[in-house]
Amino acid sequence: MSELKNDRYIRALLKQPVDRTPVWMMRQAGRYLPEYRQLRSQAGDFMSLCKNPELASEVTLQPLRRFPLDAAILFSDILTIPDAMGLGLYFETGEGPKFERPIKSQSDIDRIGTLDPECELKYVMDAVRRIRSDLDGLVPLIGFSGSPWTLATYMVEGGSSKAFTKIKKMMYAEPAMLHSLLEKLATSVVDYLNAQIKAGAQSVMIFDTWGGVLTPRDYQLFSLRYMHKIVDGLIREYQGHRIPVTLFTKNGGMWLEKIAATGCDAVGLDWTININDARARVGDKVALQGNMDPSILYATPERIQEEVSQILADYGQGTGHVFNLGHGIHLDVAPENAGVFVNSVHELSRAYHC
């Protein structure tokens, strides 16, 4: 396997010195890029892109051709696991993901078997292998999964949700039932991420998009606990290389110390916390990823630069910061503005590194 030509992203996660602050964007491949929309319409739909390693690799590389990003992220989705578990994932245009057979009872959970990622999810591993080969060491490849809690919200609600009434009902009326589902998901996520690492993912990230809708106590019991189990089960070093793991709970700033205590290498931050406070709270324990509000990409180039400059100053001198948006890039953002963002990070961050 090729050595990395640009390893800034891995080095920053491991708190090793870097020349500039590395940057990538959550959801950097996708609908805001006209070349993505064109390829998707050629392929037919989103899942056809995910299931075709050649196209998945092409889509992964599209943003890297436009912007000097320091990492690539596997083009796939967090909902591949529930789909492989037999829930029947489908997308209705303009409506987001849906499941034909959502989880309603204990017997639905009991029916879920153990996943063999190189079998039911072989298309994901094939995409990882293909992307690694196409990247040819340009930048590291990030593998990912949803957190058990976040996956469970989609599986129980039957799709996206705003109020999370079905899963919260299960959580408070049938907590043992929900725990049995989360337990199965945690096992599958460990196997899935370890398979991605063996296939070539050089770092992994766990998206806990909906952990922030829980009370502090329930966040620990129903979300963090299972992410902790996953961190404990992951391959941390592969073929002589350390594989950094990043945990991202949207709206999880208040639980930063607890997230950092799981043994992860980095914590992803959304924009509701100042990165200066975050750094003071975690000290040397973990690196930080984030945290510009993605909506700032609607602003003028000057305003985008100003915000980047402010966040760099807030983080301060030295390594341990991976610049990112605090959540996914919006689909109607002008690609040029993403370019302004990426270039600003590189140019303005030189002053913060020796």
Q: Per the annotation, where are the binding residues?
A: 27-31, 77, 154, 209, 327
- Catalytic site residue from 7, 8, 70, 77: 77
Sequence-distant (≥ 6) Cβ neighbours of residue 80 within 8 angstroms: 50, 89, 121, 124
Note whether 51 binds ligand 1CP by CB under 6 A: no
Bind-site residues for substrate: 27-31, 77, 154, 209, 327
Note whether 77 binds ligand 1CP by CB under 6 A: yes
Contacts of ligand 1CP in 11-40 (CB under 6 A): 26-31, 40
Note whether 157 binds ligand 1CP by CB under 6 A: no
Q: Provide the CA 68 distance to its chain's centre, in angstroms.
A: 19
Among 55, 56, 64, 79, contact with ligand 1CP (rule: CB under 6 A): 79
Note whether 75 binds ligand 1CP by CB under 6 A: yes
Q: How many residues sit close enough to ligand 1CP to count as binding (CB under 6 A)? A: 21
Among 17, 68, 96, 175, contact with ligand 1CP (rule: CB under 6 A): 96
Note whether 219 binds ligand 1CP by CB under 6 A: no
- Catalytic site residue from 32, 154, 219, 315: 154
- Return the residue nearest ligand 1CP (CB atom): 160
Structure tokens at 278: 């975050």
Question: From the CB of 141, what's the least distance to ligand 1CP, in Å?
Answer: 11
Question: Which residues would be at the binding site for ligand 1CP (CB under 6 A)?
Answer: 26-31, 40, 46, 73, 75-79, 96-97, 144, 160, 207, 209, 328
